[in-house]
Structure 1
Amino acid sequence: MIELKFPKDFWLGAATSGPQLEGRFNKKHANIFDYDFEKFPEHFWHGIGPDVASNFYNDFREDIRLMKKAGLNSVRTSIQWSRLIDDLEEGTVNPEAVEFYNAVIDEFLSNGIRPIINLHHFDLPVELLHKYGGWANKQVISFYVKYAEQCFRLFGDRVSDWFTHNEPMVVVEGGYLYQFHYPDLVDGKLAVQVAYNLQLASSLAIQKYREVNQNSDGKIGIILNLSPNYPASQDKEDIAAAHFADLWQNRLFMDASVKGKFPNELVEILTLSQFFRVTNVEF
């Protein structure tokens, strides 16, 4: 029998998020999932929402021991902005939330599991959507950067791997084009503005991380759900459509994150189509 071994330092892990795990216990603020479930429980499979989730808030120690038993040495999860931050505009923290996340991180580490922490998993505090327009307003970016800085300062001594957003294109398409995430809008110009602001928020959070990083081995990036695009036929219209889909779905966030600029061709197309909308409050 051939024995296969993982190479040294191979990460055998799993990925989840705060809103999928924790439940709504002891949270001052609702995120968009919490609010959506309150108002439209039919949007959720069998009416099962985020109030309890997998009860990680109460069972995290046992859950993490099971992760260790399964052989995991790394786990990606997220901090809930709506849990950690007490005053969303000032960026002050909730002491109970700090205690909770400290306990979770320490439990991971004591079980030999590397915590990989994401800052935003589709879970914008709904108050910022209703009061400011959410990611369509650049002022929300400043609130996000304050939140990110708190995370880096509070937990960066033990967490070395960070992400700014999970799959930001899902926020754009789900919330502003295809109606599968609250606020369930169909508005192309608003979708473009939200995409731009999400990328700007990521870039500014990374800049802040480099200013306050406590860990010489620390790394930060963005999680993208890249989608290969193929033309339906070899007709020039189908080829052009597939090329635009690649620019929009893949290269918008990838080029901006890796190369520091949006694809010129995408910018030209959106400009010609008058798809840029500038918000009143500039960052």
Structure 2
Amino acid sequence: MIELKFPKDFWWGAATSGPQLEGRFNKKHANIFDYDFEKFPEHFWHGIGPDVASNFYNDFREDIRLMKKAGLNSVRTSIQWSRLIDDLEEGTVNPEAVEFYNAVIDEFLSNGIRPIINLHHFDLPVELLHKYGGWANKQVISFYVKYAEQCFRLFGDRVSDWFTHNEPMVVVEGGYLYQFHYPDLVDGKLAVQVAYNLQLASSLAIQKYREVNQNSDGKIGIILNLSPNYPASQDKEDIAAAHFADLWQNRLFMDASVKGKFPNELVEILTLSQVFRVTNVEF
């Protein structure tokens, strides 16, 4: 029998999100999932949506005790932008939401569980989509950075591990290419603009974190869903397709986050394809 020994400080964890746990209970604003469920409940498995979700909003203390009982010492979840922020443009907070998230974080810590907090789990407030065009508009980046700063200031004394986005490529492909997330569009130019703006939002939120963080153990990053891409054959067309898939699906966000720039080859391909949009919105 092989005996595996894990380090004493190994993170035994689990991951979820605010929308999946809390749903839309007691929120002032709707996110895109709340709106999608309201308009198109058939998009959701058996019509199960955000009215209750897993009822974490009401049962979080018992849920966290069960997490401890299961042996978890770390849990990643997310703060709902549409819950925490009262005025989405000004970035003012909802006192009840602050009280809730403080209680959740404190409950994690009192049970010996490290809270790992993500800021955006595909759950853009739908008002920002309808009024501004969502992530396609650079104006929304400024609203996101205000929200992120509130999170850092309110909870950064107890939260050491932050993420700006969960799998931003899902927002791009689900909402603007493959139609599995609202707004269910097929628009290559919008997809590229949204990808760029999501990365810019992440970078500016990280910059803001560096400015306001007072936690000596604090760290921040981005969660990416990376997948290897293999050519269907050794034909040059298949090899080129696999290479482009790697550039688009993996290196777009990874290179920008780690190296501080997008892959030159990807930029050249997108330029030749004429998918860049011209915008007069300055940030």
TM-score by length of 2: 0.99
Q: Residues 121 and 166 of structure 1 are in contact (CA less than 8 Å); yes or no, is this contact kept in structure 2?
A: yes
* Cα displacement string for residues 11-64 of structure 1 (whole angstroms, at most 9, x for unaligned residues): 000000000001211100000000000000000011111111000000000000
The 2-side partners of 1:6 and 1:241 are apart by 40
CA deviations 1:139-182 (Å, max 9, x no partner) are: 00000000000000000000000000000000000000000000
Are residue 251 (structure 1) and residue 268 (structure 2) matched? no
Three-state SS of the structure 2 residue aligned to 1:280 is coil
Among all aligned residue pairs of Structure 1 and Structure 2, give the percentage whose two residues are the same amino acid.
Answer: 99
RMSD: 0.8
DSSP 3-state at the match of 1:278:
coil
Q: Partner of 1:117: helix, strand, or coil? A: strand
Preserved CA contact (<8 Å) 1:136 1:279: no
The offset of 1:237, in angstroms, is 0.4
The Cα of 1:3 is off from its aligned counterpart by 5.2
Counterparts of 2:30 and 2:95, CA distance in 1: 17
Find out whether 1:207 has 2:207 as its counterpart: yes
Deviation at 1:214, TM superposition (A): 1.5
Are the aligned partners of 1:83 and 1:94 in contact in 2 as well (CA < 8 Å)? yes
Structure 1: how far apart are the matches of 2:119 and 2:44?
Answer: 23
Q: Structure 1: give runs of 5+ residues left out of the alignment.
A: none
* 2:95 equivalent in structure 1: 95
- Residues 3, 103 of structure 1: CA spacing in aligned structure 2 closer, same or farther, 3 A cutoff? same
Distance apart, 1:6 and its partner CA: 2.1
With over 3 angstroms needed to count, the CA separation of the structure-2 counterparts of 1:188 and 1:5, relative to structure 1, is same
Measured in 1, the distance between the counterparts of 2:63 and 2:189 equals 43
- 1:278 offset after TM fit, Å? 2.9
Q: TM-score, normalised by structure 1?
A: 0.99
Alignment correspondent of 2:265: 265
Aligned counterparts of 1:221 and 1:139: Cα–Cα separation in 2: 22
Q: Is the 8 A contact 1:177 1:185 kept in 2?
A: yes
Q: What do the CA deviations read for 1:232-260 (whole angstroms, capped 9, x no partner)?
A: 10000000000000000000000000000
Mapped contact 1:138–1:279 kept (Cα < 8 A): no
Q: Which runs of 5+ in 2 are unaligned?
A: none
* Greater alpha carbon shift after TM alignment, 53-62 vs 19-28: 19-28
CA distance in 1, matches of 2:103, 2:278: 42
Rounded Cα–Cα distance in structure 2 between residues aligned with 1:279 and 1:140: 14
Shift of 1:4: 3.9
Alpha-carbon distance in structure 1 between the residues aligned to 2:84 and 2:229: 38
C-alpha spacing 1:172/1:2, structure 2 compared with 1 (3 Å): closer
Aligned residues of 1:81 and 1:123 also touching (Cα < 8 A) = yes
Q: Deviations over 1:82-101 (max 9, x none)?
A: 00000000000000000000
Question: What do the CA deviations read for 1:85-127 (whole angstroms, capped 9, x no partner)?
Answer: 0000000000000000000000000000000000000000000
Following TM superposition, by how much is the alpha carbon of 1:8 offset from its aligned partner in structure 2, in angstroms?
1.7
Tell me by how many angstroms 1:216 deviates: 0.7
1:236 counterpart = 2:236: yes
The secondary structure found in structure 1 opposite 2:42 is helix
Distance 1:2 1:15 in 2: 28
SS of 1:115's equivalent? strand
Counting matched residue pairs gives 283
**Match for residue 61 of structure 1?**
61
User: How far apart in 1 are the matches of 2:226 and 2:4?
Assistant: 30
Conserved? CA contact 1:19–1:123, under 8 Å = yes
Deviation of 1:2 (Å): 6.3
Q: Distance in 2 between matches of 1:109 and 1:145?
A: 26
Instruction: Decide whether the 8 Å contact of 1:193 with 1:278 is kept in 2.
Output: no
